[in-house]
Amino acid sequence: MRLIIKLLILSLLFVFLAAGFPGTVNARHKNDANHMSHVEHNAGLSKLTDTLHPADTLQINDTLQLNGTLHPGDTLQINDTLQLNGTLHPGDTLQINDTLQLNGTLHPGDTLQINDTIPAKDVAPDEEIAEEPRPSYWAKGLHTAANFSQISLSNWTTGGQNSVSLTSFLNAFINYKTPDDRFTWENSLDLGYGLINQEHRRTVKSDDKIDFSTKFGRRASETWSYSTLLNFRTQFAPGFKSPGDTLKISNFMAPGYLNLSFGMNHQLDQHITLYMSPLAGRIVYLWDEELDGSFGVEAGENKRYEFGGFIRVQFRANLMDNISVNSKLELFSNYLDKPKNFDVNAEARITMQITRFIAANILLQAVYNENARVKLADGTELGPRLQLKQVFGLGFSYRF
């Protein structure tokens, strides 16, 4: 009898093991199969029609459609994406181990971060959320223009001469300011060139300019800063007194001016800047032997060293919506030679924008250089004089 009972017990154990008793390997396999029967895989989309069991983990980037409750203990991975057949109300926050009752729809493409707050506005599928633009500490701009004129005469009884002229200029700047406004770096480049051709005369230049400046500053107060200024000025091509002359009066780096100064910069307002330097060095270059002894450079030498004080005043403003003015005044006193006499350079450019690509430009410039001798056409030397230049142009203009 006991043998029969033992056989029956063994038979029952075998049956339970074969059927998958809770806690056995076969049972776990069977439960997994039952759980997976509620999941349909389709191109990465998991549809859950049952409850997500405690301790189940959502993998990164899984997309789920849930029709039940997420129980405490469930874990949401960072950056999980969920498609929910329920509603999370705006302002609700998902905490780890929270239980979610879903009664609406969270649109595809929405991303749930741990501890994130669901925004009030739904995000449509595949819609990209624009990032806030990063602040830029660089400022840059460019203005260029080209003006053309042409005169053609045939049997013109009142007289005249055929001529063609072209003038152009370019003004560019690029400035940098640190986020805390403690340091600044300003750079500017002014270029100008013009040609004129008259009948039976050779082509000569009517305008010629290269002017580059770079200034580095460290803020001392709200409107004052310690500054270092480097400036370079020269011209592109040989210059002549008149179209018929063969004797040059200037050339590239003849003269050329290199200025380095240390001083203080004062921002009076948004339009006016004052720079003052008691310590300024200047080198005058003369790289053309035909101009030997000119511009204060000793005969046989190609450069002259000067040390003195330097002042620059700049004014920039928009007089009207389409009219702007950009001007500067520069003064230099040479401590080593006639310090009471100042070299002066004053410039003003007025631009009136007529259309997007058509503008009128007026350039006014006055120069006085103690070492620049003015000569007449017959070679008579008059010594230093006030030099004046005026250029008016109407033509193509572009700026950004």
Q: Which DSSP string do the residues of 47-77 spell out, in sequence order?
A: EE-SPBPTT-EEPTT-EEEE-SEE-TT-EEP
Per-residue pLDDT at 341: 92
Per-residue pLDDT at 158: 82
Asked whether the beta carbons of 373 and 291 are under 8 A apart, the reply is: no
Asked whether the beta carbons of 35 and 53 are under 8 A apart, the reply is: yes
Q: What angle do CA 83, 84, 87 make, to 5 degrees?
A: 135
pLDDT tier at 67 (50, 70, 90 boundaries)?
A: very low
Q: What is the DSSP letter of 15?
A: H
What percent of the chain is predicted at pLDDT more than 90? Answer: 52
- For 342-386, list the strands marked E by DSSP: 342-353, 358-368, 374-375, 381-383
Strands 100-101, 69-70: parallel, antiparallel or unpaired by DSSP?
antiparallel
**CATH architecture under which domain 138-399 falls:** Beta Barrel (2.40)
Q: On the CB side of 147, how many CA atoms lie within 13 Å of its CA?
A: 20
Q: Does residue 167 have a pLDDT over 50?
A: yes
Q: Does residue 320 have a pLDDT over 80?
A: yes
State the Cα–Cα distance between residues 187 and 175, nearest whole angstrom: 6
pLDDT tens digit sequence for 342-399: 999 999 999 999 999 999 999 999 999 988 877 776 667 778 899 999 999 999 999 9
pLDDT tens digit sequence for 286-304: 999 999 988 999 999 999 9
Per-residue pLDDT at 371: 87
Residues in the chain: 400
- As a whole number, mean pLDDT of residues 269-289 equals 96
State the Cα–Cα distance between residues 162 and 205, nearest whole angstrom: 17
Q: Does residue 116 have a pLDDT over 80?
A: no
pTM exceeds 0.75: no
Per-residue pLDDT at 112: 52
Chain centroid to CA 139: 5
Instruction: Show me where the domains of the chain are located.
Output: 44-127, 138-399
Q: Does residue 85 have a pLDDT over 60?
A: no
